[in-house]
Copies of this chain bind each other. A is one copy, B any other.
Amino acid sequence: MKNFLLIGLFLIPTLAYAQRNNGKGMLYLDENRRPVRRENIMIPAVNGFEVLKCDFHTHTVFSDGHVWPYVRNQEAWQEGLDALAITDHIEYTPHKEDVNVAHNRGYALLVESAKMSNILLVKGSEITRNTPPGHFNAIFTGDASGYTEDRSGEQDRSAVMKAAAQHAFIFWNHPGWQPDIEGSYEWIDFVEDLYRSKALHGIEVINDFDIHLKALDWCIDKDLTVMGSSDIHNLVAHEYDTSKDYVHRSMTLVMAKERTPEGIREALDAGRTVAWSSKYLVGKEEHVRPLFDACVELLPSHYTEVRGNGSKTNWYEIRNNSDLYFELELKEGNGTKRIVLYPRSAQLISAAAGIASLTYEVTSTYVRSNKHLTVDFSLR
């Protein structure tokens, strides 16, 4: 009954917990309570843009999720997210025997909590059709109550078009998720029609632990925005192995002019995003490259080793100034063959003296379905 008055907030005061006795038959053992803290996900600014951590695809009991909307805000706050959308299915509400169907309800219930906790809450819905074409998320929606509920079995575009008419930002969800259904991971006419109608603005290249690499190519070739989402139904704490410091929920990194809903929308419309799933960064080269450059720093050589045969080797420190993770493999130059940069850590690398640069593939990135980012380090 501790939460009797807790109106959906996690606002246990910001205490350091301790054991204490009130002297009247009560002992409090708060030292074993999980500390309430918001993690900072550290990513430096990129080309002057703030990098916002955004999850625009989540579920609650108002469709097939397992939690009340409050939990989504609590998770987002703890994990250091900047923006969140609750995107319950319009057409799939398996709890409807118990929970009244109301398509704007998750947002409405959460809006004050989100404001209080400085989370940018974006209104959204998941429009659900059988696969193909599958599911579409509409965010920055107006009122979703008019979206049809009964057409999941049809290739009907009306709900998407209604969202588009509300100036929503619309993206195609997890296009490769049902590999056994023919046409499920194809650019079918239904999608082409939306695209031509300006009612498709992005594709979920990362969903949960899956990367839809072919969809990355579509985004590049058709000038759509690369999206990444958790699509969380259950608890983030039960789904992600956060004992590893490089594991975070899957999300979209949005390079925004300002930390506001408007700032996010402008960046989404401009396509300035990178999708992120723990070790992997997936996006257009024009965005992945400056993100890498903002995070990773090669210092000037601090030491020249002279080996027995007289050969000289220069040693360098390479630093990852972010909470992202990078793996690099040498492509050109006589130097360290493989580099792993864990969050907020550094490594030592070496190169034969006299060499001007080393070229690596950043194998933990994709800038095409078959291409990693390639980076050159000038050696000093």
Contact = CB atoms under 8 A, between A and B. Distances in A.
A24 B183 CA distance: 13
A247 to B, nearest CB: 5
Interface in A199-231: 208-215, 231
Interface stretch (A157-165, A236-244, A372-380): A236-244
B29 A277 contact: yes
A33 B209 contact: yes
Interface string A62-80: 1011111011001100101
Nearest to A114: B303
Interface string A31-61: 0111111111010000000000000000101
Given A32-B279, A74-B234, 12 more contacts: A1-B173, A1-B174, A3-B59, A14-B338, A15-B338, A26-B185, A26-B211, A32-B241, A37-B342, A40-B319, A75-B238, A118-B302
Contact of A14 (B4, B97, B348): B348
Contacts of A147: none
A1 to B, nearest CB: 6
A70 B66 contact: yes
Interface residues of A, number: 115
Contacts of A141: none
Given A3-B64, A25-B185, A345-B37, A32 B278 contact: yes
A321 interface: yes
A105 interface: yes
Interface in A1-34: 1-4, 6, 8, 10-11, 13-16, 22, 24-30, 32-34
A68 B75 CA distance: 16
Contacts of A71: 66-67, 234-235
B4 A64 contact: yes
A214 B23 CA distance: 10
A29 B280 contact: yes
Given A2-B208, A26-B176, A11 B348 contact: yes
B240 A243 contact: no
Interface in A266-324: 277-280, 299, 302-303, 305, 315, 317, 319-321
A61 B211 CA distance: 33
A257 interface: no
Contacts of A213: 25-27
B345 A38 contact: yes
B37 A347 contact: yes
Contacts of A148: none
A299 B279 CA distance: 31
Contacts of A6: 233
Contacts of A78: 238
A14 B342 CA distance: 10
Contacts of A357: none
A215 B2 CA distance: 18
A352 interface: no
Contacts of A67: 66-68, 71, 235
A29 B92 contact: no
Contacts of A66: 3, 8, 67-68, 70-71
